């Protein structure tokens, strides 16, 4: 096991790298994709797979052992499966996970298994077909739902379903979504909306997870599940007798920054110490200028040291983050 050299100024050890492999997405979710059409990154500005692999190897030498692939939508990028095989083969990586909207996943499910991916996070904010189409700009609900069921049959576990809780958008569905866990082994994760970029939601649609929880409680007692070391920020519960579980990720009402173990690598080749702070360190330019591993490792340690103690989002002031979620990788 590699010693972790990525300790920040607040004694947090950073062992988790989230990688956005593209800023492109096949959906246009109103809370994620910006109001105006922003120029997409040119192909040459997006890190090539071999560049990502080199950066990951350096990260692993410093103590990174957990990777999540995200975007944009990772499955829109060509060659993803071959890349995942190479990623999994890097010695020292314990876990590679994928976050996807699952619209395009069907032909890749078996290959993902073959590439060693076991953990999937699927974003699904509604169980209503027409609402999905309004929210995501595409009539994709049936496809996503059947792909989730297929992934479950194939044994992807945990299979997490990310639900962003939003006022006036899906705030009448939380109990219905939570009730899926009675019969299915899903891990539903309710996520508080974060104000980022310039989304197309008409106002800040924030709903606190306390309110989500109040809506769920009539279904039955929520029994807490004890947290494991590598569990991430969700507070986890199970409805008594349910197969699946329910988690609450509450960046706005409960900072979980004290336990944050993450760095992000954006599609444009920047290391981002905190999702909710716009500071980024350019690793791509150095890499393309021919920097050696030691110089690139230095960018990692600088990114670790630049990690703020906690984010600045605030329930009342709602100070927002300029970067777009689809460009950073959620
Ligand atoms: N395309 C993939 C997907 O749909 O899961 C990966 C990228 S998406 C940006 C990653 C996650 O970020 C999704 O679960 C999405 O719901 C979440 N997300 C996007 N914008 C958000 C926001 N403003 N607040 C909270 N979560 C957000």
Whether the CB of 267 sits within 6 Å of ligand 1: no
226 pLDDT tier (thresholds 50, 70, 90): confident
Query: What was the pLDDT predicted at 321?
Result: 76
What whole-number percentage of the chain has pLDDT above 70?
97
Q: Which atom from ligand 1 is nearest to the alpha carbon of 73?
A: 1
Give me the chain's average pLDDT, please: 93
Q: How far apart are CA 161 and CA 232, in angstroms?
A: 15
Whether the CB of 23 sits within 6 Å of ligand 1: no
DSSP collapsed to 3 states, 99-112: EECCCCCHHHHHHH
Q: What is the DSSP string of 9-30?
A: TTS-B--EEEEE--S--S---T
When mean pLDDT is compared across 18-22, 34-38, 313-317, 318-322, the lowest value belongs to 313-317
**C-beta separation of 283 from 223 below 8 A:** no
- Using the mean position of ligand 1's atoms as its centre, give its distance from the Cα of residue 295 in Å: 32
- Using the mean position of ligand 1's atoms as its centre, give its distance from the Cα of residue 330 in Å: 5
Q: How far apart are CA 25 and CA 67, in angstroms?
A: 20
Q: What is the DSSP string of 143-205?
A: HHHHHHHHHHHTT--SEEEEEEEBTTTTTT-HHHHHGGGGTS-EEEEEEE---BSSBS-SS--
Question: Is the confidence at residue 2, as pLDDT, over 80?
Answer: no
Whether the CB of 140 sits within 6 Å of ligand 1: no
Whether the CB of 325 sits within 6 Å of ligand 1: yes
**Which own/partner pairs from 235-243 qualify as long-range (CB within 8 Å, at least 24 positions apart)?**
236/187, 238/181, 239/178, 239/181, 239/182, 241/182, 242/181, 242/182, 243/181, 243/182, 243/183, 243/184, 243/185
- Using the mean position of ligand 1's atoms as its centre, give its distance from the Cα of residue 195 in Å: 12
1 pLDDT tier (thresholds 50, 70, 90): low
Where is 80: in which H helix or E strand? helix 80-88
What pTM value is reported for the model? 0.95
Average pLDDT over residues 201-215: 94
Select from 75, 120, 143, 164 the residue to mutate for testing ligand 1; criterion: most ligand atoms less than 8 Å from CB: 164
- Using the mean position of ligand 1's atoms as its centre, give its distance from the Cα of residue 73 in Å: 10
Select from 24, 123, 197, 318 the residue to mutate for testing ligand 1; criterion: most ligand atoms less than 8 Å from CB: 123
For the stretch 56-72, pLDDT in tens is: 999 999 999 999 999 99
> Which residues are 263's β-sheet partners?
17
| Tokens at 158, concatenated | 């945990």
Query: What was the pLDDT predicted at 196?
Result: 86
Instruction: Give the 3-state secondary structure percentages of the chain, helix then strand then coil, rounded to 5.
Output: 30, 20, 50
Whether the CB of 126 sits within 6 Å of ligand 1: no
Length of the chain: 330
Helix, strand or coil, per DSSP, at residue 321: strand
Whether the CB of 162 sits within 6 Å of ligand 1: yes
Kindly list the strands in the beta sheet with 119-123, ordered across the sheet, starting from the edge strand earlier in the chain: 222-224, 235-239, 245-249, 186-192, 159-165, 119-123, 95-100, 66-70, 16-20, 262-265, 270-272, 281-282
Question: Is the confidence at residue 286, as pLDDT, over 90?
Answer: yes
How many other CB atoms sit within 10 Å of the CB of residue 240?
Answer: 10
For the stretch 163-188, pLDDT in tens is: 999 999 999 999 999 999 999 999 99
Query: What was the pLDDT predicted at 35?
Result: 72
Q: How far apart are CA 322 and CA 161, in angstroms?
A: 26
Going by CA atoms, what residue is nearest to atom 19 of ligand 1? Answer: 32
Going by CA atoms, what residue is nearest to atom 13 of ligand 1? Answer: 123
Q: At what angle do helices 141-153 and 129-136 cross, to 10 degrees?
A: 110
Question: Taken in order 35, 312, 95, 303, is the CA torsion positive or negative?
Answer: positive
Query: What was the pLDDT predicted at 3?
Result: 74
């Amino acid at each position: 096991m590699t010693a972790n050299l990525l300790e920040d100024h607040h004694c947090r050890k950073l062992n988790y790298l989230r990688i956005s492999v593209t800023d492109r997405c096949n959906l246009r979710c109103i809370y994620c994709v910006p109001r105006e059409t922003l120029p997409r990154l040119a192909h040459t500005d997006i890190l090539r797979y071999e560049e990502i692999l080199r950066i990951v190897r350096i990260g692993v030498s410093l103590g990174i052992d957990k990777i999540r692939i995200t975007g944009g939508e990772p499955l829109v990028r060509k060659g993803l499966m071959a890349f995942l095989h190479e990623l999994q083969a890097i010695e020292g990586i314990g876990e590679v996970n994928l976050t996807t909207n699952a619209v395009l996943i069907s032909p890749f499910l078996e290959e993902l298994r073959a590439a060693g991916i076991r953990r999937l996070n699927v974003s699904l904010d509604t169980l209503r077909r027409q609402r999905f189409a309004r929210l995501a700009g595409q009539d994709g609900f049936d496809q996503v739902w059947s792909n989730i069921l297929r992934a479950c049959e194939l044994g992807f576990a945990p299979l997490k379903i990310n639900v962003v809780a939003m006022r006036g958008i899906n705030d009448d569905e939380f109990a219905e979504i939570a009730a899926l866990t009675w019969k299915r082994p899903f891990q539903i994760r309710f996520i508080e909306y974060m104000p980022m970029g310039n989304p197309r939601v008409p106002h800040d649609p924030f709903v606190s997870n306390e309110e989500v929880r109040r809506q769920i409680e009539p279904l039955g007692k929520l029994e807490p599940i004890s947290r494991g070391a590598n569990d991430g920020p969700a507070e986890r519960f199970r409805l008594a007798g349910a197969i699946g579980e329910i988690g609450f990720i509450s960046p706005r009402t409960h900072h979980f920054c004290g336990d944050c173990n993450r760095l992000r690598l954006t599609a444009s080749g920047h290391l981002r110490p905190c999702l909710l702070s716009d500071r980024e360190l350019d690793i791509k330019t150095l890499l393309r200028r021919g920097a050696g591993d030691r110089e690139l490792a230095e960018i990692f340690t600088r990114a670790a040291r630049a990690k703020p103690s906690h984010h600045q989002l605030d329930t009342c002031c709602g100070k927002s983050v300029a970067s777009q979620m689809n460009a950073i990788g959620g």
